[in-house]
Structure 1
């Protein structure tokens, strides 16, 4: 089996980002993004998705975190698409429900080749520490557009915004793990009746 690893670098006037991933890892992770709460969330994806991740980012944080968060989503999406290759043999679909105390979220993903995001999270406050919760949508939109996936995110209940988004990221990691897993019964076969994704 070919290694499903990738490295992607994105350099713009707003951000400089390098993302290295191994889809068949053990959840080892290193993050230096300058956005501590995002690092915490990405660690959930790595750990629960069993994806090794190394992401280093420098962005225009003197303005705000918008460009950095969005561009990390873009770069991670590009890295996943590159590491995945032609998608033959993968399960393609993944889903997960994850609770954390009072919060419960569901994430469903399809490596369809068609980018689409449905994100329904009614946060109970607009900031988690210094992090603007609106930026989570920007992260996932960037990921979806560049990984070429359909992604449905639903926070089903929750009163604590930290718990709400942590359940989302944990469920995202677990859904990724399921969808990216190689199915021995589908070895070398494209998981689509169209013959292409």
Structure 2
């Protein structure tokens, strides 16, 4: 599973997380769809996904292949979070087109993760009051 491997690689790359921001947040629009992701890379995996319409599916780009079910987005995010040690909250604020919904969700995740793992020059050591994540 690709999300498992990416999650493990992210966890390994972050090491003890010294000097990073730790938290990330992004709101991303794509036409009528708006997705929000909040992430904490503290090492305690948890996932919530809210707002996705039930039973959405769409054909792969090009019109061929197996339809992609919206529930797969949750599965991918969950696999990533469990293996990377992310607390991840996804909220779909609006959207009708399944393609736009999924694309906005993944773009919001990418931007939130970028913020969370960015080095913060003001952060000395590990970003935790306990001194460990």
1:196: which partner in 2?
A: 132
- Identify the structure with the greater strand proportion: 1
Q: Matched residue pairs, number?
A: 126
Larger RCO (alpha carbons 8 Å, 6+ apart): 2
- Matched-pair contact (CA < 8 Å) for 2:52–2:70: no
Return the match for 2:46 from 108, 116, 119. 116
Aligned residue number for residue 85 of structure 1:
15
Which ranges in structure 1 are unaligned for 5 or more consecutive residues? 1-70
User: What root-mean-square deviation, in Å, do the aligned CA atoms of Structure 1 and Structure 2 show?
Assistant: 1.2
Provide structure 2 residue ranges, at least 5 long, that are not aligned to the other structure.
Answer: 60-66
Counterpart of 2:52 in 1: which secondary structure?
coil
> Is 1:166 the counterpart of 2:96 in the alignment?
no
What is the distance in 2 between the residues matched to 1:100 and 1:125? 20
Q: Among 91, 94, 111, which residue is 1:154 paired with?
A: 91
1:175 pairs with 112, 115, 125, which one? 112
Q: Measure, in 2, the Cα distance between the counterparts of 1:182 and 1:117.
A: 24
Corresponding residue of 2:78: 141
